Amino acid sequence: MSLLPAAKIGGRRVVLPSRAALTSSSRLFTTSTATPAPRVSPRTNVFPSKVLANPSAPRRALATHASPHTYAKLTGEDITAFASFLSSPSSSLLTTIQPSDSSCGVKPVGQDELDGYNADWMNKYKGRSQLVVKPKSTQEVADVVKYCYEKRIAVVPQGGNTGLVGGSVPVEDEVIISTALLNKVRSFDEVSGTLVCDAGCILESLDREIGAKGYMMPLDLGAKGSCHIGGNVATNAGGLRFLRYGSLHGNVLGLEVVLPNGEVLDGLSTLRKDNTGFDLKQLFIGSEGSIGLITGVSIVTPRRPSAQNVAVFAVDSFDAVQQVFGRVKSHCGEILSAFEFMDQDAFNLVVHHGIKNPFEAKHPFYVLIETSGSNKDHDDEKLSGLLEELMESSMITDGVMAQDESQAGSLWSLRESIAEAAGKKGAVYKYDLSMPIPKMNELVEHLRQRFNDAGVLGQDKQIKDVVGYGHIGDGNLHINIVAEAYAPEIEALIEPYVYEWTSGVQGSISAEHGLGYMKAEKIGYTKGQKSVEWMQRIKGLFDERGIFNPNKYLPSQPASK
């Protein structure tokens, strides 16, 4: 698909194309005489590594001790036992270990057959599990987990394995329990929009299935073609439409969970309102497989909008990005469904990756907005007013607007492909931070400066790119540092600098990707000691033997049993 040339707007008056025009043309306007602002403002006060943006911010002790638990090593007897719990052991068990009973239906495979389960999406974290179990029912999960509990075998729950913090793969040789074969829709209520499904359903498949009935999933992410709804809930994934549809803490109505001792906690409620006791499901949302394996999800889904508009604007400075955000919110109000930003380096990365560039000139920043509503004329009128104002005030310097669904998809891919483009180019250090919006670009610039000072930034150097982008509407900055290879000296330049800086502006070291293995010991940069202690107690209460996702999520704690 190619975007058609701009329809020049005479006398700086912006007119939103009519609906008929919307099906055939897309480039809206251009005011390219303005000289683009320098992308990185020259600065003399380089931010040194140990100095925080807010030096008076409290510093917290970070635990560093290793897991106190010991785990059993798998034997052929264990494989035979696992096979006995499964309705089709030959398709549900993948192992390199010879079962003690050769008639159990399991034939060992080479270690390379497990590579895809042992390595994460970035190829940054790699375990060496010898067993992947793919149960087909909640009961099968419960039997497998109960056995692991009794034998003290460590496990890692795995969904689509698209997590970005090393949470979904073993650290050592944990048994991988995959939800890949738990993939049925259990019910869908067309009146309330309540969906109940197995945890292994793929997000995009669910969206397609309920889309046919006029509904949509309340979350959307670049990994939608692979990630599972159970993994989304386990990571409390945010994504591209969080701004409009909010957190899974609000949308999930109930969960079915297999606890670390094999008990099934049946909380698959479909009620919108239920004030009876502690809301236990909330503990599992964002728990990253640390206190149970989610097998079923009940979730409320919104109506699918009948009218959608997507536009990308070019902007001269990060200040202007924020101003545009303010104007867009006040103009579009209830129809705004996404407000994303990317800097020039992020944009260049996706364009070099092969995504079509709809702009002629280069610009320091780009924002993508999406509106979703039920009345196209109403939405077009709102957008028309918005564009007129943005142009009049020179807040934006150029822009394109999708004229149909396919063009909308192309504009979205400018934003959605950043993660993939970075991954294709090199080893990516990913940071996913919450912070006050005005601070976001500062950190990206500080990092570039820091790498320049160290002489490591450049296409022929150790760090090739530092790109900033994210869900600006949610105060969520993503920084991807694309390196030639993962190297301790590069990591030492980034960490703990990024965490200290973020803590110094009262931000969070994880806005949406979670803690996993990468940040288990770093939670203290965002949460106080007391909170971490209570989290550890909760973990110990559910998982007294520490068999669920060891060495992840929280600093390790002494065993209670």
Please choose which of ligand MLT, ligand FAD, none residue 478 contacts, taking the beta carbon within 5 to 8 angstroms, the exact cut-off set by kind. Answer: ligand MLT
**Residue 247 CB, nearest approach to ligand FAD (Å):** 10
Q: Which residues of 282-315 are buried (b: 16+ CB within 10 A; e: fewer)?
A: ebbbbbbbbbbbbbbbbbbbbebbebbbbbbbbb
Return the number of the residue (47 or 284) whose C-beta is nearest ligand FAD. 284
How far CA 384 is from CA of 16, 309, 377, 379, in Å, comes to 5, 11, 10, 8
Residue 162, interface with ligand FAD (CB under 6 A)?
Answer: yes
Q: How many residues bind ligand MLT (CB under 6 A)?
A: 6
Check: CB of residue 154 under 8 Å from CB of residue 71: yes
Return the number of the residue (174 or 379) whose C-beta is nearest ligand FAD. 174
Check: CB of residue 268 under 8 Å from CB of residue 255: yes
DSSP 391: H
Check: CB of residue 509 under 8 Å from CB of residue 433: yes
Residue 118, interface with ligand FAD (CB under 6 A)?
Answer: no
Return the number of the residue (143 or 474) whose C-beta is nearest ligand MLT. 474
Residue 422, interface with ligand FAD (CB under 6 A)?
Answer: no
> Which part of the chain contacts ligand FAD (CB under 6 A), choosing from 37-45, 76-84, 163-171, 369-377?
163-171
Residue 228, interface with ligand FAD (CB under 6 A)?
Answer: yes
Please choose which of ligand FAD, ligand MLT, none residue 224 contacts, taking the beta carbon within 5 to 8 angstroms, the exact cut-off set by kind. Answer: none
Residue 239, interface with ligand FAD (CB under 6 A)?
Answer: yes
**Residue 300 CB, nearest approach to ligand FAD (Å):** 18
Residue 430, interface with ligand MLT (CB under 6 A)?
Answer: yes
Non-local (6+) Cβ contacts of 156 within 8 A are: 127, 129, 168, 169, 170, 174, 175, 176, 177, 289, 549
Q: Which residues of 333-363 are buried (b: 16+ CB within 10 A; e: fewer)?
A: eebbbbbbbbbbbbbbbbbebebeebbeeeb
Closest-CB residue for ligand MLT?
Answer: 419
Residue 159, interface with ligand FAD (CB under 6 A)?
Answer: yes
Strand order in the sheet with 307-315: 27-30, 398-401, 307-315, 365-373, 336-343, 463-471, 476-483, 427-434
On the question of a cis peptide bond just before residue 496, with omega within 30 degrees of 0, the verdict is: yes
559: left (phi over 0), alpha (psi -120 to 50) or beta: beta
Please choose which of ligand MLT, ligand FAD, none residue 293 contacts, taking the beta carbon within 5 to 8 angstroms, the exact cut-off set by kind. Answer: ligand FAD
- Residues from 338 through 357 that contact ligand FAD (CB under 6 A): none
Given 222, 260, 305, 399, the residue binding ligand FAD (CB under 6 A): 222
- The helix (H) or strand (E) run that includes residue 133 is strand 131-133
Query: Could you give phi then psi for residue 245, rounded to 5 degrees?
Result: -100, -5
Given 92, 179, 309, 441, the residue binding ligand FAD (CB under 6 A): 179
CA distance 292 to 231: 12
Please choose which of ligand MLT, ligand FAD, none residue 179 contacts, taking the beta carbon within 5 to 8 angstroms, the exact cut-off set by kind. Answer: ligand FAD
String of contacts with ligand MLT for each residue 144-173, x by CB under 6 A: --------------------x---------
Residue 288, interface with ligand FAD (CB under 6 A)?
Answer: yes
Return the number of the residue (144 or 164) whose C-beta is nearest ligand MLT. 164
Check: CB of residue 243 under 8 Å from CB of residue 471: yes
**Residue 281 CB, nearest approach to ligand FAD (Å):** 12
Check: CB of residue 334 under 8 Å from CB of residue 382: no
Given 81, 106, 114, 221, the residue binding ligand FAD (CB under 6 A): 221
Residue 252, interface with ligand FAD (CB under 6 A)?
Answer: no
**Residue 417 CB, nearest approach to ligand FAD (Å):** 8
**Residue 389 CB, nearest approach to ligand FAD (Å):** 29
What is the largest distance, in Å, between two alpha-carbon atoms of the chain? 82
122: left (phi over 0), alpha (psi -120 to 50) or beta: alpha
String of contacts with ligand FAD for each residue 500-519, x by CB under 6 A: ------------xx--x---
Check: CB of residue 349 under 8 Å from CB of residue 313: no
CA distance 511 to 445: 20
- The helix (H) or strand (E) run that includes residue 415 is helix 405-416
Given 363, 478, 522, 539, the residue binding ligand MLT (CB under 6 A): 478
Residue 519, interface with ligand MLT (CB under 6 A)?
Answer: no
Tokens encoding 360: 């002629």
**Residue 164 CB, nearest approach to ligand MLT (Å):** 6
End-to-end CA distance of the chain: 61
Residue 207, interface with ligand FAD (CB under 6 A)?
Answer: no
What burial class does residue 153 get, using C-beta atoms within 10 Å of its C-beta: 0-12 exposed, 13-18 middle, 19+ buried? Answer: buried
Residue 419, interface with ligand MLT (CB under 6 A)?
Answer: yes
> Which part of the chain contacts ligand FAD (CB under 6 A), choosing from 80-88, 160-168, 327-335, 347-355?
160-168
Check: CB of residue 158 under 8 Å from CB of residue 150: no
- Residues from 217 through 236 that contact ligand MLT (CB under 6 A): 222
Residue count of the chain, please give it.
561
**Pairing between strand 365-373 and 336-343?**
antiparallel
CA distance 308 to 310: 7
> Which part of the chain contacts ligand FAD (CB under 6 A), choosing from 82-90, 128-136, 154-162, 262-270?
154-162
String of contacts with ligand FAD for each residue 514-543, x by CB under 6 A: --x---------------------------
User: Which residues of this protein are in contact with ligand MLT, per CB under 6 A?
Assistant: 164, 222, 418-419, 430, 478
User: Which residues of this protein are in contact with ligand FAD, per CB under 6 A?
Assistant: 121, 156-164, 167-168, 179, 199, 221-223, 227-228, 230-232, 234-235, 237-240, 288-289, 293-294, 419-420, 512-513, 516, 549
